[in-house]
Structure 1
Amino acid sequence: MATPGFNKLLDCAKAIEVGDLHLADSLIKDILTDNDDKLVKYCAEALVRRVYKLYPRNPRPLVPSCTDLRCNMDYQFFPFFWFSELTTRNTIVDALTGKKRVQVIDFSLMANGRRWCLLLDDYLKQSSDAISFHLTSIGPILSKKGDYLNEILEKLPKEAKKLPIEFEVKHMVASSPAEMVEAALKLERSSEDETIVVRWEFELHKLLALPGAIETVLSKLKELKPEIMIVVEQEASLNGQDFLECFTKSFRYHSIIFDSLGKDNFEHGNHSKVLWEMYFRRQISNLVAQEGTDQIVRHQTFAEWRDRFCRSGFRHVRLQNQFKGTFFGHLPEYHIEEMNRHPVLYRHDDQLLFTSAWKSYPTQLNSESLDNWNQESAMGDGNIMQIESSSLLILSGTVSSSAFLEDQPDDEHIIMEGKVWSPECISINQVAASAKIFDMLEYICHVNYLPLALTWMSDRRILRLEKSACYLNDSTMVEFMEACGEHHLEEGKGVAGKALQSNSMYFVSDISKLDVKDYPFIFEAWDFGLRGVVAIKLESVYVSSIDYVVEFFLPLEMKGISGQRLLINEITNILQKNSRNSWKVCTQELNGFNISSEVEVTMEEVGTSNIRPAAISDSPPLALSEIGSLNSSQIRELCNIFKPTGDGVEVPEAHDQEFEEQNSVFGPQAYQFPDSDELVGMDSSHINTSRTSKRRRTSEVWQYFDEVREDGEVWAKCRSCSTKYRGESTRGTTNLRKHLRSCPGKK
């Protein structure tokens, strides 16, 4: 662990603690110069965030890519979430067996519809006289505009229609420790004979940031008399008061994880690793955060949790370890062992996670913690949206009053501004700029269903990709981002180069129609189905020559100019409200000077069309600056409305298996109850996660080739020079794209 990078990080942390920012700035520069160690970079960023108290107000919950909510993919977060699934599901089923009325209270980062479908199926198989199944999900959301967890849970009632049971699901919003407490205090049993099971998945540790919170919540849960309470947490002692000690232990723990990311064979390759990196990047920043901030995160070992639970009236019960040994065949580095009557996940000899089970002592409730809880922090009652499933009442809604940008006109900041940046700390400020842009892009992409957003840094009118400030909402786009990072853009080249040249905003409705001279990444854009793009210049307000251009890729299905304009207005509004202390957002009304010629043609077509976006009435079209904000459902409606007839997302034939497979996990899929031999509780080495439906795309590179058959073989024949390449779908389109770059017939 005592690497040169870590030693400098520790020196930097010491300098920050004593307020020597000049030394810290010099060390940050040394640390980041020619250093490709991602853990070191993320720790350096975390230290800079600590300096300026730069944290997102609403950190992103761990949810699947919000560009396609029809399928859940927490299996991509190997091995943490599969360990959780494998070690908790059978325990919950055993606790519910034979019970007529049950309620599962789930505190989780991630709502997984498939998980509950499987659990419900098992419960019904073992409880033939079951009457009701109530699910209460308590977890964070990013924004009231984009409550993705609730949208996932709303799908469950459709499946419940098939079952002879009363089914109810309720989502309670809890994005901060205080909200978690208030949500817990609102919990109640629906009847005296109801059996309650409580499940914590990587959420309980958040209560450590608020004094008295854990005691209050555990006291309330004990009052409910749960049949069993299951806790999944990271096995790490990161709750000390000494910052330097906590920082050192955090680096030690995360070095195991990042070593795994760099060396281990994850089933979904780069896509899985991208999701992991984003998750642990945020966790590192929160671990290094200053005391007194809502974002602070602390972890404890099982022994420390056991002491807390025992003091709160819970006793530890044994979990049968049915999965002892190798975790997955393709991940031999990981295995599960039993320690102190509970399963522990190891990577080699290092403990990473534990799952434990608890029952309450049959003693009289001590309500002192509840009485002492500060009711001044209580949330509003909110509202509960009612949905029908057959003749049953299905509750699916939110109970919260979180402060969000769109709900608080007097509080226009998503990002906590913190301290004023020091103009003398050039290296620190550059890291802070990337971190703040990352936070804004993360929020914008999730709220507006954007697949990705890139950040370009200007250097004497040349743009280079700043990967630490890019955000991937669709992890399958990682190859596209990497392709963009291989080249620098000259002023006037690409959409970002046009924005830099015009010192403003530049918008292209459909980049797939551009020439490679105008858009250097056209072949990659074809393969990934990218179309609408807007680039916006951020001009630094500090004494600095470094400006940024942020490039947003609009939802793949959104092809109508009116809907795109509405969405661009939403994006620019968020940027302007959250950049005022750091950058000037260079925007102007879209016109012929900052719209590509392809868009102008499209605008004429839209002008004669009867199709209107959902947010536009029959009154005259509004100017871009006059259009109000959109919520997530309106954005999805716009994507559907502007999908041309016969031009759907799915196509019958895909000529590029490589990209077909990397996008397969985003395919539409209805929840189904699989046969028992497919369930999570089986031998993990035989679990096949490739069953997810595939969303296939035809690469647009094929518009330059003809498919011909000779002697039973398929060939791709160039229309310009008649050169032929093998054309089976397993061959991919790499050779075809390379040919187009040098095709003599196209020159």
Structure 2
Amino acid sequence: MATPGFNKLLDCAKAIEVGDLHLADSLIKDILTDNDDKLVKYCAEALVRRVYKLYPRNPRPLVPSCTDLRCNMDYQFFPFFWFSELTTRNTIVDALTGKKRVQVIDFSLMANGRRWCLLLDDYLKQSSDAISFHLTSIGPILSKKGDYLNEILEKLPKEAKKLPIEFEVKHMVASSPAEMVEAALKLERSSEDETIVVRWEFELHKLLALPGAIETVLSKLKELKPEIMIVVEQEASLNGQDFLECFTKSFRYHSIIFDSLGKDNFEHGNHSKVLWEMYFRRQISNLVAQEGTDQIVRHQTFAEWRDRFCRSGFRHVRLQNQFKGTFFGHLPEYHIEEMNRHPVLYRHDDQLLFTSAWKSYPTQLNSESLDNWNQESAMGDGNIMQIESSSLLILSGTVSSSAFLEDQPDDEHIIMEGKVWSPECISINQVAASAKIFDMLEYICHVNYLPLALTWMSDRRILRLEKSACYLNDSTMVEFMEACGEHHLEEGKGVAGKALQSNSMYFVSDISKLDVKDYPFIFEAWDFGLRGVVAIKLESVYVSSIDYVVEFFLPLEMKGISGQRLLINEITNILQKNSRNSWKVCTQELNGFNISSEVEVTMEEVGTSNIRPAAISDSPPLALSEIGSLNSSQIRELCNIFMPTGDGVEVPEAHDQEFEEQNSVFGPQAYQFPDSDELVGMDSSHINTSRTSKRRRTSEVWQYFDEVREDGEVWAKCRSCSTKYRGESTRGTTNLRKHLRSCPGKK
């Protein structure tokens, strides 16, 4: 562990602890110079976030990408969530077997509708006389405007209608420790004969940040008398008050994780690794956070948790000894062993996770913790974070959300502003700038269903990709991001280069129609089905020597100009709200000067007509600067409204009269899925819309090749130089795209 990178990180942490920012700035510069170690970079970012208290108010939970909601995404979090599923599912089913009325209370970091459907199915197989199944989901969301849980949970009652059982699902939003306590205190039985099972999946440790929170929640759960309580957590002792000790232990623990990400053969390769990196990047920052920060994270070992549970009236029970020696196929580095009557996930000889089961002692409830919590909350004790009632609305069979600060009329922030930056700390400020951009892109992509957003940095009018400030909402786009990172952009080249040149924003409705000279990544864009793109220049107040250009890729299904303009306005609004004190957002009304010539004619038509999307009801046509914020359902409607009916054929945009007629007849369209014969060996219910469009689309790279057959084999023959490549569909188009870059016939 004592690498040169870590030694400098530790020196930097010591300098920050004593307030010597000049030394810390110098060390940050040395650490990041020619250093590709991701763990070192993320730890350096964590230290910078600690200096300026840069933390998003509602950090994104570990969830399936918003563009992948209809996929079963568990595999992408293999082996952590596979371990959780393997060690908890049968235990829950056994606890529910033979019970007529059950309630599962699920505190989970990641929502998964398929998991709950399987659990419901297993329960019904084991309990033929079942009467009711109630699911109470308690977990975080990033924003009320982009509540992914609505996408998942609202389907469950529909599926349950097919079953001979009363089914109810409730969702209680809990994105902070205080909200988790508040949600737990609202839990109750629906009947005296109801059997309750509680499941914690990577969420319980969050309560460690709030004094008295764990004792209060466990006291409430004990009152409910659960049949069993199952806890899945990381096996790590990261709970000390000493900052340097916690930082050192955090580096040691996460070095195991990042060593695995760099060396092990993860299924689905880069897609899985991207998601894990984003999650642990956040975790490292939160572990290093100052005491009193809302997002602070602490972890404990099983032994420490056992002491807490025993003091709260729970006893440890043994899980079935069926996991010992279990290995993970393509990941032989990982295995499961039993330790102290519970399964533990190892990588080589290092413990990473544990699953444990608990039952409450059959003693009378001691309500002292609940009373103390309520009194301290009411008094606003200095050592207790005060809970502000969020009026959690819980609806039977539906999904509800708590109030978010962004919804308050007097609050214009989405991301925390943090401290004022020091103008002398150039290297620290550069890291802080990238961190804050990442936070903004994360939020914008998540709530607006964007597949990805890139950040370019300009030094002497040459743009290079700043990967630490890029955000992938759709992990399948990682290859596109990497392709962009292989090249620098000159001013005026690409969409980002045009924005830099114009010192403003630049919008292209369909990049697939551009020439390779104008958009160097055109072949990759074809391969991933990317179309609408807008790039916006940002000028940093604290890093004046560097210009930033953020490049947003619009939803793949959104192809109409009007819908794209609405969404661009939403993006710029969020940027401006969060950039007032540290950024200048260079934007202006979209016109012929900052719109690609590919769409000028269309934009002229839009500008002279009264076209408006159906998602915006009976209001008059709005200028771009007048449009308010969109919620996720409106964005999905816009995607559907401008969804092409077939490959290469766009739905004509209707005028006012047409919309008045259509609005009375049509509701939001459902996402379109491939026909069943196109889904060989796949479950159509788990296919996401973005990938669907890619499967149905023939890559535009084929316009430069002819498909020829020789001796029963398929070949792709270049029309310019007659070079041939194997052309089977399973081979993809990577070689074809590489050829076009250097084709002698096209030069």
Deviates more, 1:696-705 or 1:2-11: 696-705
* Deviation for aligned residue 1:373: 1.6
Task: Summarize deviations over 1:370-418 as a string: whole Å, max 9, x none.
Answer: 1122478699999999999999999468898856353023221222212
C-alpha distance in structure 2 between counterparts of 1:14 and 1:664, whole Å? 65
Q: How does 1:254-403 map to 2 (within 5 A)?
A: 254-374=254-374, 395=395
Aligned-residue CA RMSD in angstroms? 7.4
Q: Secondary structure at the match of 2:523?
A: helix
* 1:383–1:397 Cα contact (<8 Å) kept: no
Q: Tell me the TM-score normalised to structure 1 length.
A: 0.91
Q: Secondary structure at the match of 2:29?
A: helix
Using a 3 Å threshold, how does the CA distance of structure 1 residues 181 and 390 change in structure 2: closer, same or farther? closer
* 1:318–1:342 Cα contact (<8 Å) kept: yes
Using a 3 Å threshold, how does the CA distance of structure 1 residues 37 and 314 change in structure 2: closer, same or farther? same
Using a 3 Å threshold, how does the CA distance of structure 1 residues 578 and 330 change in structure 2: closer, same or farther? same
C-alpha distance in structure 1 between counterparts of 2:659 and 2:244, whole Å? 45
* Deviation for aligned residue 1:731: 2.7
* 2:392–2:401 Cα contact (<8 Å) kept: no
Using a 3 Å threshold, how does the CA distance of structure 1 residues 126 and 391 change in structure 2: closer, same or farther? farther
Using a 3 Å threshold, how does the CA distance of structure 1 residues 384 and 363 change in structure 2: closer, same or farther? closer
Q: Secondary structure at the match of 2:668?
A: coil
Using a 3 Å threshold, how does the CA distance of structure 1 residues 483 and 510 change in structure 2: closer, same or farther? same
Using a 3 Å threshold, how does the CA distance of structure 1 residues 737 and 680 change in structure 2: closer, same or farther? closer
C-alpha distance in structure 1 between counterparts of 2:318 and 2:561, whole Å? 60
Deviates more, 1:545-554 or 1:724-733: 724-733
Task: Summarize deviations over 1:267-287 as a string: whole Å, max 9, x none.
Answer: 110010000000000000000
Using a 3 Å threshold, how does the CA distance of structure 1 residues 383 and 401 change in structure 2: closer, same or farther? farther
* 1:668–1:694 Cα contact (<8 Å) kept: no
Using a 3 Å threshold, how does the CA distance of structure 1 residues 468 and 447 change in structure 2: closer, same or farther? same
* Deviation for aligned residue 1:500: 0.2
* Deviation for aligned residue 1:740: 2.1
* Deviation for aligned residue 1:726: 2.6
Q: Secondary structure at the match of 1:387?
A: coil
Q: Secondary structure at the match of 1:290?
A: coil
Using a 3 Å threshold, how does the CA distance of structure 1 residues 416 and 683 change in structure 2: closer, same or farther? closer
* 2:570–2:630 Cα contact (<8 Å) kept: yes
* Deviation for aligned residue 1:602: 2.9
* Deviation for aligned residue 1:568: 0.3
Using a 3 Å threshold, how does the CA distance of structure 1 residues 614 and 385 change in structure 2: closer, same or farther? farther
- Overall identity of the aligned pairs, in %: 100
Using a 3 Å threshold, how does the CA distance of structure 1 residues 385 and 420 change in structure 2: closer, same or farther? closer
C-alpha distance in structure 1 between counterparts of 2:33 and 2:536, whole Å? 28
Q: Secondary structure at the match of 2:68?
A: coil
* Deviation for aligned residue 1:715: 2.4
* Deviation for aligned residue 1:650: 15
Using a 3 Å threshold, how does the CA distance of structure 1 residues 707 and 678 change in structure 2: closer, same or farther? closer
C-alpha distance in structure 1 between counterparts of 2:329 and 2:426, whole Å? 47
* Deviation for aligned residue 1:737: 1.5
* Deviation for aligned residue 1:724: 3.4
Q: Secondary structure at the match of 2:590?
A: coil
* Deviation for aligned residue 1:603: 2.7
Deviates more, 1:71-80 or 1:689-698: 689-698
Using a 3 Å threshold, how does the CA distance of structure 1 residues 54 and 659 change in structure 2: closer, same or farther? farther
* Deviation for aligned residue 1:316: 0.3
Deviates more, 1:35-44 or 1:698-707: 698-707
* 1:232–1:353 Cα contact (<8 Å) kept: yes
Q: Which runs of 5+ in 1 are unaligned?
A: none
* Deviation for aligned residue 1:720: 3.8
* Deviation for aligned residue 1:708: 2.8
* Deviation for aligned residue 1:661: 42
Using a 3 Å threshold, how does the CA distance of structure 1 residues 383 and 305 change in structure 2: closer, same or farther? closer
Deviates more, 1:74-83 or 1:627-636: 74-83
* 2:316–2:359 Cα contact (<8 Å) kept: yes
C-alpha distance in structure 2 between counterparts of 1:305 and 1:491, whole Å? 56
Deviates more, 1:304-313 or 1:399-408: 399-408
State the number of aligned residues.
Answer: 747
Task: Summarize deviations over 1:537-596 as a string: whole Å, max 9, x none.
Answer: 001223621110000000000000000000000000000010111110000000000000
C-alpha distance in structure 2 between counterparts of 1:660 and 1:354, whole Å? 58
Q: Secondary structure at the match of 2:66?
A: coil
C-alpha distance in structure 2 between counterparts of 1:211 and 1:359, whole Å? 24
Task: Summarize deviations over 1:160-184 as a string: whole Å, max 9, x none.
Answer: 1211111111110000000000000
Using a 3 Å threshold, how does the CA distance of structure 1 residues 287 and 403 change in structure 2: closer, same or farther? farther
Using a 3 Å threshold, how does the CA distance of structure 1 residues 646 and 506 change in structure 2: closer, same or farther? same
Deviates more, 1:299-308 or 1:651-660: 651-660
* Deviation for aligned residue 1:704: 2.0
Using a 3 Å threshold, how does the CA distance of structure 1 residues 554 and 671 change in structure 2: closer, same or farther? closer
Task: Summarize deviations over 1:354-383 as a string: whole Å, max 9, x none.
Answer: 000000001111111111224786999999
Task: Summarize deviations over 1:714-746 as a string: whole Å, max 9, x none.
Answer: 222333444433321133212322232233443
Task: Summarize deviations over 1:315-369 as a string: whole Å, max 9, x none.
Answer: 0000013121132111110110101100000101100000000000011111111
* 2:70–2:686 Cα contact (<8 Å) kept: no
Deviates more, 1:588-597 or 1:712-721: 712-721
Deviates more, 1:470-479 or 1:672-681: 672-681
* Deviation for aligned residue 1:710: 3.5
Using a 3 Å threshold, how does the CA distance of structure 1 residues 147 and 498 change in structure 2: closer, same or farther? same
C-alpha distance in structure 1 between counterparts of 2:101 and 2:389, whole Å? 18
* Deviation for aligned residue 1:678: 22
* Deviation for aligned residue 1:611: 7.1
* Deviation for aligned residue 1:599: 1.8
Deviates more, 1:72-81 or 1:522-531: 72-81
* 1:228–1:359 Cα contact (<8 Å) kept: yes
* 1:496–1:506 Cα contact (<8 Å) kept: yes
Q: Which runs of 5+ in 2 are unaligned?
A: none
Using a 3 Å threshold, how does the CA distance of structure 1 residues 201 and 421 change in structure 2: closer, same or farther? same
Deviates more, 1:379-388 or 1:545-554: 379-388
* Deviation for aligned residue 1:709: 2.7
* 1:117–1:673 Cα contact (<8 Å) kept: no
Deviates more, 1:675-684 or 1:115-124: 675-684
Q: Secondary structure at the match of 2:694?
A: coil
Deviates more, 1:682-691 or 1:89-98: 682-691
Q: How does 1:336-735 map to 2 (within 5 A)?
A: 336-374=336-374, 395=395, 404=404, 406-542=406-542, 544-604=544-604, 612-617=612-617, 620-647=620-647, 695=695, 697-735=697-735
* 1:654–1:699 Cα contact (<8 Å) kept: no
Using a 3 Å threshold, how does the CA distance of structure 1 residues 694 and 677 change in structure 2: closer, same or farther? closer
* 2:642–2:651 Cα contact (<8 Å) kept: no
* 2:637–2:669 Cα contact (<8 Å) kept: no
Using a 3 Å threshold, how does the CA distance of structure 1 residues 695 and 198 change in structure 2: closer, same or farther? farther
* 1:660–1:695 Cα contact (<8 Å) kept: no
* 2:558–2:564 Cα contact (<8 Å) kept: yes
Using a 3 Å threshold, how does the CA distance of structure 1 residues 199 and 743 change in structure 2: closer, same or farther? same
Using a 3 Å threshold, how does the CA distance of structure 1 residues 402 and 425 change in structure 2: closer, same or farther? farther
C-alpha distance in structure 2 between counterparts of 1:281 and 1:403, whole Å? 27
C-alpha distance in structure 2 between counterparts of 1:684 and 1:591, whole Å? 42
Task: Summarize deviations over 1:649-700 as a string: whole Å, max 9, x none.
Answer: 9999999999999999999999999999999999999999999999554211
* Deviation for aligned residue 1:32: 0.6
C-alpha distance in structure 2 between counterparts of 1:700 and 1:384, whole Å? 59
Using a 3 Å threshold, how does the CA distance of structure 1 residues 339 and 635 change in structure 2: closer, same or farther? same
Query: What is aligned with 1:210?
Result: 210
* Deviation for aligned residue 1:19: 0.3
Using a 3 Å threshold, how does the CA distance of structure 1 residues 612 and 10 change in structure 2: closer, same or farther? same
Q: Secondary structure at the match of 1:593?
A: coil
* 2:406–2:414 Cα contact (<8 Å) kept: no
* 2:457–2:549 Cα contact (<8 Å) kept: yes
Using a 3 Å threshold, how does the CA distance of structure 1 residues 605 and 704 change in structure 2: closer, same or farther? farther
